[in-house]
Amino acid sequence: MFDFHPRLKQRFAALRTGAEFFSLRYVCESGQHLSVRKNVAEPPSLNRDEGAMLTVRVNGVEAYAATNDLSQAGLQAALERAEQHARQLKPHALLDLREQAVSSDRADYFSPHFDQAFPPLSDCYQLLGDESAAVPQDERLVNWQASIGLTQVEQIYLNSAGAELRQAQRFIYPALDVTAFDGNDSQTRTLGRENFGQQGGFDVISRCGLIGAGPKIADQALQLLMAPNTPQGPRDLLLMPDQMMLQIHESIGHPLELDRILGDERNYAGTSFVKASDFGHLQYGSSLLNVTFDPDIPEELASYSHDDDGSAASKQFLIREGLLLRPLGGALSQFRAGLDGVANSRACGWNRPPIDRMANLNIEPGDQSLEQLIQGIERGVLMRTNRSWSIDDARNKFQFGCEWGQLIENGELKGVVKNPNYRGISAQFWKSLRAVGDASTSQVLGTPNCGKGEPNQVIRVGHASPACVFSNVDVFGGDA
């Protein structure tokens, strides 16, 4: 672990520049993706990636250069390119960062069970093969696939103010999906994949329920195939954690990103219906809504001690009892906006610069069991497992779809319905939050696939949430 650290430190110490401040962020990432599709092992996809980003500040103007050449000469050349960029762009720079503080922290951070080896490839294939083989023989089951993704990342951040931050993390993504087809419609049921990723080791595979899931997921795909469409019209909506995560992500996370509010993303990811002046004033949701940035849940995907600019991370309430308090903005955005934020300045790799990202964004549990949540609904629908998401560029008008729906009548769970969709407007939707599940309904989930930024970056984010009930939501089904 951190094998390259001594040499990197030496090379960093030998770098020469006229910049008033500079930093180096080294990232070494390795991974494997293993999959068995319809009982056939697909070839493993392995990777090993290594590089560094040098960032300089010259007369208050920052610029970066990322390089795959980690030799002394390679790092020096990158530093000089960054410095040249900063000098050239000085007359056109938007920001003057001369007064912005920099980190001098030192810390190490490790994923849980990082020191325990992950099972060898052959064991993983055995497990995936067993799950695939456990999918029953039924001619309507036309496709199924079990997979495990693993990514291991070592990052070392050094800067000219003396910061030295090392992180060693391992991320696991188990998945199983089954598709059923009846000659007309097709329905897919999924476990994990884009919904379930965690830090850790083999414990993640156990927690996600992959082992023994084959027959259950296949049965659910068949149930969906035979189910009627979700009825159209207003109903109470019970969202389970694997849809709540998407609801939080799209309609709380993105609109609270401070760089979006400052306009940086208007050409790509979009803007926000939230304004800088709303913090401390806007009632974002009902008084049951408590939203936190929480880097302290060890298995959650974006738990860390420091972000990629070297800011120390700690748990913060972004929304408390429905009141909007704090944006998702890292040190730079905080400096620009004059607002307190969180340590969420993050890059997806060595070749992309840090920007405001979501990290772990969670809903704090309430006080009702799942049974109580269901009992409290007269005419509603339960939805689980996101499969479709679409929202406008200000993060307001949304439409989301799930794999699995179940009607709720007079406080009881009834039949399965397919193609459950719903739509709403963020600024109003969270005010209809009527009940929040307790810790027993809560799950720690996360996705590796949040996209944003120019140049584009796809990054890991964590979302832990209980099940939640929303009043009077516009729900509907599909065509087939």
Partner 1 sequence: MSTVNNQARAFKALVDWLRDALREPEQFTLGYAAESSAFVRFNHGKVRQAGQVQQANVSFKLIDDGRHADLQITLSGDPEADVQRLSEGLQQLRETLPLLPRDPYLLLNHNHWQSNNVQDHPLPDTEQAVAEITRAAEGLDLVGFYAAGPISRGFASSSGAFGWHQANSFNFDFSLFHENGQAVKASYAGHEWSSDGFARRFEQAREQLEFLGRPLRTLPPGEYRAYLAPAALEEIMGMLSWGGFSAQAIASKQSPLQKFYAGEAHFSPNVWLTEQVSGSLSPAFSDEGYPRDDLGLIAKGTANARLINSRSAAEYGLAANGASRYEYPTALDMQGGQLEQKYILEELGTGLYISNLWYLNYSDQPAARLTGMTRFATFWVENGQIQAPVSTMRFDDSVYSLLGSQLEALTRERELLLSASTYSQRATASMLLPGALVKRLTLTL
Name the segment binding Zn ion (CB under 5 A); options: 2-10, 95-103, 313-321, 449-457: 449-457
Name the segment binding Zn ion (CB under 5 A); options: 38-46, 272-280, 424-432, 442-450: 442-450
295 binds, among Zn ion, partner 1, none (CB under 5 to 8 A by kind): none
Q: What is the DSSP letter of 230?
A: P
CB of 188 to Zn ion, least distance (A): 22
Q: Is the CB of 417 or the CB of 450 nearer to Zn ion? A: 450
480 binds, among Zn ion, partner 1, none (CB under 5 to 8 A by kind): partner 1
Rounded to 10 deg, the angle between the 5-13 and 72-89 helix axes is 50
Rule CB under 8 A: say whether 439 interacts with partner 1.
no
Cβ neighbours of residue 407 under 8 Å, at least 6 residues apart? 231, 380, 381, 382, 413, 414, 415, 417
Rule CB under 5 A: say whether 450 interacts with Zn ion.
yes
Binding mask 55-94 for partner 1 (x = CB under 8 A): x------xxxxxxxxxx--x---x--xx--xx-xx--xxx
Element holding 40 (H helix, E strand): strand 40-41
Longest distance between any two alpha carbons in the chain, whole Å: 72
Cβ neighbours of residue 45 under 8 Å, at least 6 residues apart? 32, 33
CB of 450 to Zn ion, least distance (A): 3
357-416 positions binding partner 1, by CB under 8 A:
387-394, 396-397, 399, 401
Options 109, 110, 114, 181; binder of partner 1; rule CB under 8 A: 181
105-164 positions binding partner 1, by CB under 8 A:
120-122, 125, 142-143
Binding mask 290-329 for partner 1 (x = CB under 8 A): ----------------------------------------
CB of 249 to Zn ion, least distance (A): 6
Element holding 259 (H helix, E strand): helix 258-261
CB of 420 to partner 1, least distance (A): 11
Q: What is the dihedral of CA 300, 301, 306, 309, to 10 degrees?
A: -150
443-472 positions binding partner 1, by CB under 8 A:
451, 454-458
CB of 372 to partner 1, least distance (A): 32
Q: Is the CB of 63 or the CB of 450 nearer to Zn ion? A: 450
Rule CB under 8 A: say whether 48 interacts with partner 1.
yes
Structure tokens at 466: 């209980």
Q: What is the DSSP letter of 311?
A: P
Q: Is the CB of 109 or the CB of 389 nearer to partner 1? A: 389
450 binds, among partner 1, Zn ion, none (CB under 5 to 8 A by kind): Zn ion
125 binds, among partner 1, Zn ion, none (CB under 5 to 8 A by kind): partner 1
CB of 148 to partner 1, least distance (A): 14
The answer to whether the bond into 295 is cis (omega within 30° of 0) is: no
Give the CA angle between residues 63, 65, 71 to the nearest 5°.
140
238-277 positions binding partner 1, by CB under 8 A:
262-264, 266-268, 270-271
Q: Determine the Cα–Cα distance for residues 248 and 243; give it in Å rounded to an integer.
A: 9
Q: Report residue 383: phi and psi, to 5°.
A: -130, 140
Number of residues forming the site for Zn ion (CB under 5 A): 1
Q: Determine the Cα–Cα distance for residues 258 and 264; give it in Å rounded to an integer.
A: 9
419-438 positions binding partner 1, by CB under 8 A:
419, 421, 423, 425
Q: Determine the Cα–Cα distance for residues 92 and 264; give it in Å rounded to an integer.
A: 16
Report, in angstroms and rounded to the nearest whole number, the Rg of the chain calculated over CA atoms: 24
How many residues are given for the chain?
A: 480
Nearest CA-CA partner of 207 in 241, 173, 246, 245: 173
Nearest CA-CA partner of 459 in 200, 284, 197: 197
472 binds, among partner 1, Zn ion, none (CB under 5 to 8 A by kind): none
Rule CB under 8 A: say whether 1 interacts with partner 1.
no
- Cβ pair 426, 398 in contact under 8 A: yes
The contact set with Zn ion (CB under 5 A) reads 450
